[in-house]
Amino acid sequence: MGCQCSKLIPCCWNSQFKAAVLEAPDIDNEEKSDVDYLPTFCEFTFEQLKNATSGFAVEYIVSEHGEKAPNVVYKGKLENQRRIAVKRFNRMAWPDARQFLEEARLVGQLRNQRLVNLLGCCCEGDERLLVAEYMPNETLAKHLFHWETQPMKWAMRLRVVLHLAQALEYCTSKGRALYHDLNAYRILFDEDGNPRISTFGLMKNSRDGKSYSTNLAFTPPEYLRTGRVTPESVIYSFGTLLLDLLSGKHIPPSHALDLIRDRNLQMLTDSCLEGQLSDDATELVRLASRCLQSEPRERPNPKSLVASLTPLQKETEVPSFVLMGIPNSTCCSPLSPLGEACSRRDLTAVHEVLENIGYKDDGMTNELSFQMWTDQMQETLDSKKKGDSAFKRKDFRTTIECYSQFIDVGTMVSPTIFARRGLSYLMNDMPQEALNDAMQAQVISPIWHIASYLQAAALSALGMDNEAQAALKEGTMLEAKRNAAAAKK
């Protein structure tokens, strides 16, 4: 039932894959060209997803409601370096395994550039999990309500609503018109800064279909009467998103409609947009009013929304990442000296960098000094000091031996020691062991760019050039974010 694959062979999208897979969906050529990099939907094993998320570690949680939410979303990385998002359902959400698999497979047939596409699922015992593409640039809610450096530009807000309408039109054309609890947390931004809608919302949260978790003031009125989601309910929720983008706040529709009726549009529009708005804001207000009609049949359909929103677009030649003010990992950014050294496997240069930075990126220094008083700890620290000394004089076999003694005690964890031992393994032509250490360093410190760069060097030594490029790209992005954060201080 699971995706069976050997260590570090790309999972679930190779010709040897023998688990249950679906026929490739019927996609127009234009759509296919944008998503043909994606694997066919497949079933993962629970063990694979556990490993990808470091045992579903708290540090890997990315869902807005955190650890106590009934259905938690984790970020993760598969053995072939593909970044993923994993939604783990409450154990009682889907008691019928066949029903869950059928629903997941139907959503998994969708493939579109406007969606956070579903890559697979897992259904073992009581476990029910979905696996989707990983979106590295946060949610619409984050950029709209909790921005730090700049408010979202008006041109980008118009792009968001168009992309969202296009996503809904595509899903409707494929027979998936029902979207559960559409809100600003369901819209995510990919590595290019383009907005996409999460496919998690195309699945019911459970077999009963009760799915609106937001405040009742934002819930479609007919849902309160019947408890059922309809295509028209989705358009109502789209209207609430239009209000979010207009106002920069989460305004109850009833209050917004009062402001619209009173023609008090100044109270409805975001003060951060002063000087950017024109007649297109009035058109967006009109569309929101239509979407929020209390009578479902009076609301527009996705196709008419796309037709209305397309002429409103501004700065169409400007990439989304520029409008969003975020680093773009797909640009050919020059590699840093460390990234360059790892890309060409100049291990001497990598050693020099690791030696120079010492333990300044390591979170264990204070913990070490605090625990020095015990004899056992002193012995452990001695093995670390011997390892440091051996690493400095480039005695890499002794480095491996001493750091292994330190790691095996298991009292403290250090990404730096794993990185140094990983480089020592590379120096001794042991790339698989080096990769394992580099990945462990990133488990301990998920945003440490050096761990990604070392993975690239190890993957390259293993002959996995595509995966090495992906790791270099990730390292570059993490380093850019780190440098940007440092510049703000």
- The mean pLDDT value for 197-214 works out to 72
CATH 1.10.510.10 fits 140-324, yes or no: yes
Instruction: Please write the tens of the pLDDT for every residue from 89-139.
Output: 887 788 888 999 999 999 999 999 999 999 999 999 999 999 999 998 999
Could you say which of 181, 270, 388, 437 is catalytic? Answer: 181
Q: How many CB atoms lie within 10 A of CB 314?
A: 16
Instruction: Please write the tens of the pLDDT for every residue from 400-425.
Output: 999 998 888 766 778 999 999 999 99
Cα–Cα distance between 338 and 346 in angstroms, integer? 9
CB 451 within 8 A of CB 472: no
Most confident of 44-48, 216-220, 331-335: 44-48
Of the chain, the percentage scoring pLDDT greater than 70 comes to: 83
CB 124 within 8 A of CB 1: yes
- The mean pLDDT value for 390-407 works out to 92
- Whole-prediction pTM: 0.72
Provide the residue ranges of all domains of the chain, joining segments of one domain with +.
29-133, 140-324, 337-488
Over its C-alpha atoms, the chain yields an Rg (Å, rounded) of 25
Of the chain, the percentage scoring pLDDT greater than 90 comes to: 45
pLDDT attached to residue 311: 94
Arithmetic mean of pLDDT over the chain: 83
- The mean pLDDT value for 359-375 works out to 55
The residue among 130, 139, 481, 439 whose CA lies nearest residue 326 is 481
The residue among 211, 16, 11 whose CA lies nearest residue 122 is 11
What fold, for 29-133?
A: Phosphorylase Kinase; domain 1 (3.30.200)
Helical segments of 153-214, H only: 154-173
- The mean pLDDT value for 4-8 works out to 35
Is 181 part of the annotated catalytic residue set? Answer: yes
pLDDT attached to residue 20: 34
- Does residue 215 have a pLDDT over 80? no
- The mean pLDDT value for 160-170 works out to 97
Residue position matching structure tokens 């984050």: 142
Cα–Cα distance between 354 and 294 in angstroms, integer? 63
Cα–Cα distance between 331 and 173 in angstroms, integer? 33
Token couple for 30: 């234009």
CATH superfamily of 337-488: Tetratricopeptide repeat domain (1.25.40.10)
Sheet holding 72-77, edge to edge: 42-43, 118-124, 127-133, 83-88, 72-77
Instruction: Please write the tens of the pLDDT for every residue from 445-467.
Output: 888 899 999 999 999 999 888 88
